[in-house]
Structure 1
Amino acid sequence: MRVSAISIAFIFSVVFVTCKEEKKVPTKTTQMKEVMAVHDELMPKMGKIGRLVGELNKIEDSTETGQVYKEAKIELQEANKAMMDWMKELGDHFDYEEIMKGKELTEQKQEWLNEEEEKVKVLKEKINGSIERAEKLLENNK
């Protein structure tokens, strides 16, 4: 029994398509939506950061305790700056259509998106952590 070249090609095609379909990786559009969902979760916290910085400014002084408040204030300011820098970098790498409309990404932009996804996770921890620490300090000051 001879197997023709067409039969072999067909078998390889079926195997290739089957293997390809088994990969369940998020689509680029889904990945961008996830990144933007974290952004949308963090943006309202920028106002809270500003409020906390103002409160810490009022009680910071040159004493040892006052320096703890100053450090918390600086941490909040750094978290705010990190958010602004991250948003600028995202805007430098991607256009509106790619961010909001799911426009197809080049291979380079997909690599950037993978990096931005990791960066926004770190950013989320930085923002939430700095807010939590500042709120605890302020609560203990009451």
Structure 2
Amino acid sequence: MNRFIPFLIIVIFFVSCGSSLEEENSEMRAKVIAVHDEVMPMMGKLKSLEKRAISEASELEAENSSDSLKIQELKALAYDLEQAYEAMFVWMRQYDNENGERNPEEVKVYLEEQMEKVKVVNEKITTALNKADKTLKD
């Protein structure tokens, strides 16, 4: 009986730690999705601004404008907007919303990696939109 009590204490400890880690993972998953949700509504704006940048660059080229720097700037902006748009969908395609066969520790590592990836996507989108605000004139 005396050997059983320490074993029982260890089992209770691991079960309670597992629950805590699962709660942390649930909170982390919610944070990852919150970062995604912050910029997802901007996806339409990215495409709209990309088309506008391409259109303005084409207009300048059609006018045989001597402002080749502005044309290159608009093309670079369109590229950045398109890359930011694609980055979101690349991230979404690889993101796994289920834990699958992963244990709680593996889920934690996975979610930490996903948080870093989605932050990069968020930054690309935010940067591209800020660049568009500075480059495109109303």
Identity %: 30
Q: Which residue of 1 aligns with 2:65?
A: none
Identify which of 100, 103, 106 aligns with 2:102.
106
Shift of 1:57: 1.3
CA-to-aligned-CA distance 1:69-108 (integer Å, 9 cap, x gap): 1101100100011001000001xx34xxx3xxxx687237
Unmatched tracts of structure 1, length 5 or more: none
Unmatched tracts of structure 2, length 5 or more: 62-67
Aligned length: 123
Q: CA RMSD in A?
A: 3.2
- Evaluate the alpha carbon distance shift between residue 104 and residue 88 of structure 1 in structure 2; reply closer, same or farther with a 3 A threshold: closer
Amino acid paired to 2:77: A
Identify which of 74, 89, 93 aligns with 2:94.
89
Q: Which residue of 1 aligns with 2:131?
A: 133
Distance (Å, rounded) in 2 between the aligned partners of 1:57 and 1:46: 17
Distance (Å, rounded) in 2 between the aligned partners of 1:85 and 1:109: 22
Is 2:49 aligned against 1:44? Answer: no
Deviating beyond 2 angstroms after TM superposition, the runs of 4 or more aligned structure 1 residues are none
Distance (Å, rounded) in 2 between the aligned partners of 1:122 and 1:39: 11
CA contact (8 A) 1:28 1:105 kept: no
